[in-house]
Amino acid sequence: MALQFMLLFGANGVALPFAALWFHAQGLDGARIGVLLAAPMLGRLVTGPLIAVWADGFRYRRTALAFLGLTSAAAYGLTMQVEGFALWAPLWFVAATASAAMIPLTDAMTVRLSQKEGFSFAFPRGCGSAAFVGANIIMGALLTRTGVDAVLIWVVVAGVAMAASARWVLPPEPVTDGGAPTRKRDRFRGLGRLARDPVFMGAVLAVGCVQSSHAFYYGFSALAWKAQGIPEIQTGLLWAFSVVVEIGLMWWGEPWRRARGIGPLTLLAVGSGAAVVRWAALSFAPPLWMLWPLQTLHALTFAATFLAGVQLASRLAPADSQTAAQTLGSMLSAGVLIGLATLAAGPLYDAVGVQGYSAMAALGACGGLAVLALRRTRAAVG
């Protein structure tokens, strides 16, 4: 599972930061690049549930991962072969959607295997974060020596490798305990039950508020820091440092939490509080020396919140709806909510600059309020 996460986030570590460079080199302006990048995120409102139901139709969890890996490789490869926004848009939508869909499916499989085999889910997921940083650094170095086509060549190769790993390396973990897939009608009903469950959706909303509060940081931290006179190399180091701290929490902090029986709701509450502190502090444009300790909070605002979300979805969903549960959570927190927050972040930055982080602090606080409501059902969610 660690290998699968490394391949997956090794691809994302190149596609996310450097896709805009490739499209810019093809002559697209920022507005059209923004549309290309945001469309797959917003599209998860539809594609997320459909892919979850489709994936649960196979006997083994690895089968869908293999198909999605090949789909992403083919769509990324075709993107290199065509010209024009009208052709790039649908191909990029398919490629990015397939790549993003593999994350919750891999999460669901790893959660199930970790429960059976007794290993910590956070360790293989942390390996994926390490691969994200490594891929980002390697591609940054490559782009100083080669053309931007290296970006798409990398993700094509990674897609093929993910498909091969899913088919021949991952274990044959069944989708259902009985081994036989459920009928499509029943899978849609299971998805509908989750969507109507107020406790489950409350947990998803709480996680989504905290995760989507990163939108302003993801989109405009580099511009804001440059406006403060902080050089780009320091921006890269600050981002890398935040991911390194995230890895540390997954590899060492998560086992400590599990050993002490700290539940996912408490973890989510800590992540929400850290988001309020982090974004409120950044809204005052602190100097460089203060940014380093603030970046350590990424371990709580992102990693702790993510782990809490995965565990809450696993606890609140029945065994035959694990894929649907993880996909719904990812669809909202890493898709629709952060997509909407990203669309709002641009006008906020234009209007008030770094004070736009205040809106992100408010989003983090909303997540905390949702946690307080969920504590009434603590017996169910821990």
What's the pLDDT tens digit per position in 20-30? 778 888 988 76
Least-confidence region, from 152-156, 242-246, 266-270: 242-246
Gap between the Cα atoms of 123 and 248, Å rounded: 10
pLDDT tens digits, one per residue of 327-356? 777 777 777 888 888 778 878 888 888 999
- Residue entry with tokens 């594609």: 47
Gap between the Cα atoms of 246 and 230, Å rounded: 23
Rounded average pLDDT over 353-380: 87
Q: What is the pLDDT of residue 163?
A: 97
pTM for the full model? 0.75
Residue among 382, 347, 240 at smallest CA distance from 298: 240
Choice between 82 and 225, residue whose per-residue pLDDT is larger: 82
Percentage of residues in the chain having pLDDT higher than 90: 42
End-to-end alpha carbon distance in the chain: 26
Burial-class residue 180 by CB neighbours within 10 Å (0-12, 13-18, 19+).
exposed
Residue among 302, 269, 335, 382 at smallest CA distance from 104: 335
Gap between the Cα atoms of 39 and 97, Å rounded: 9
Gap between the Cα atoms of 44 and 100, Å rounded: 9
Q: What is the pLDDT of residue 13?
A: 82
Same fold for the pair 1-181 and 183-382: yes
- Structure tokens, 46: 């539809």
Report residue 381's pLDDT band, with 50, 70 and 90 as the boundaries: low
Q: What is the pLDDT of residue 374?
A: 85
Report residue 198's pLDDT band, with 50, 70 and 90 as the boundaries: confident
pLDDT above 60: residue 179: no
Which positions ≥6 away from 148 have C-beta within 8 Å? 18, 21, 22, 25
pLDDT above 80: residue 322: no
Where along the chain do its domains lie?
1-181, 183-382
Gap between the Cα atoms of 145 and 166, Å rounded: 32
Report residue 152's pLDDT band, with 50, 70 and 90 as the boundaries: very high
Pick the CATH number of 183-382 from 1.10.390.10, 1.20.1050.10, 1.20.1250.20, 3.90.1640.30: 1.20.1250.20
Q: What is the pLDDT of residue 185?
A: 61
pLDDT tens digits, one per residue of 53-93? 898 888 899 999 999 999 999 999 999 999 999 999 999 99
- Residue entry with tokens 């945001």: 38
Domain 1-181 coded CATH 3.40.50.2020:
no
Q: Are the beta carbons of 175 and 112 closer than 8 angstroms?
A: no
Phi-psi region of 173 (alpha: psi -120 to 50; beta: other; left: phi over 0): beta
Taken in order 297, 40, 236, 347, the sign of the CA dihedral is negative
Report residue 364's pLDDT band, with 50, 70 and 90 as the boundaries: very high
Mean pLDDT, the chain, whole residue set: 86
Tally Cβ neighbours within 10 Å of residue 363: 25
Least-confidence region, from 30-39, 134-143, 286-295, 359-368: 30-39
pLDDT above 70: residue 247: yes
- The three-class DSSP label of residue 60 is strand
The 8-class DSSP code of residue 336 comes to I
Burial-class residue 379 by CB neighbours within 10 Å (0-12, 13-18, 19+).
exposed
pLDDT above 60: residue 379: no
Q: What is the pLDDT of residue 189?
A: 66
